[in-house]
């Protein structure tokens, strides 16, 4: 519990603006460039909602160690849990991997805003946050015009919409 508290205590500080970013990679596409729209959305949320003197933190969780490492190396505001990543989704019977996923999801729910991949994992954090208008469900766009403008209120997904999407 103290591991979780270190993150949630940080996110609850008055001078911190946090955006959780949950990226489930598609196939073998795990380069940062392929998911830049998640971070662009985080930048837009920061520009729109953060108080100018607040420290900005992007808490990244992903099933790709390569993506996680590249984001930490190249992007300014990114922090990670450091928990091991088990990217092979067929190994859900490993208790440590499941516990790590639960821990990261709990921490994700405590960020001010969330940008989540389609599916069940990120939406659990959205529901646990109990905060409307704080989660963007980011699809994998075919064209740039399909990327939501995260400065607009309609970029946020409703709980009703999330509950109608596929789950774990």
pLDDT along the chain (168 residues), means of 10: 91 97 87 94 98 97 95 96 75 77 95 92 92 91 75 94 76
Q: What is the model's pTM? A: 0.91
Of the candidates 50, 42, 56, the residue with the CA atom closest to the CA atom of residue 10: 56
pLDDT of amino acid 87: 58
pLDDT of amino acid 90: 56
Q: Distance (Å, rounded) from C-alpha 25 to C-alpha 11?
A: 25
pLDDT of amino acid 1: 74
* Domain residue ranges of the chain, discontinuous segments joined by +: 2-164
Does the domain formed by 2-164 have CATH 3.30.70.260?
Answer: no
């Amino acid at each position: 519990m103290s591991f979780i508290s270190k993150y949630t205590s940080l996110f609850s500080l008055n001078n911190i603006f946090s955006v959780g970013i949950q990226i489930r990679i598609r196939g073998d596409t795990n380069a940062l460039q392929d998911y830049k729209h998640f971070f662009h959305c985080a930048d837009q949320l920061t520009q729109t909602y953060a108080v100018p003197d607040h420290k900005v933190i992007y808490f990244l969780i992903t099933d790709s160690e390569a993506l996680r490492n590249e984001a930490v190396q190249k992007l300014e505001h990114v922090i990670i849990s450091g928990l091991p990543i088990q990217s092979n989704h067929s190994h859900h019977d490993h208790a440590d991997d499941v516990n790590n996923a639960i821990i990261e999801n709990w921490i994700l729910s405590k960020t001010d805003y969330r940008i989540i991949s389609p599916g069940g994992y990120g939406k659990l954090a959205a529901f646990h946050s109990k905060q409307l208008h704080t989660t963007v469900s980011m699809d994998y766009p075919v064209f740039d015009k399909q990327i939501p403008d995260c400065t607009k209120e309609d970029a946020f997904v409703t709980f009703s919409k999330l509950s109608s999407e596929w789950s774990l």
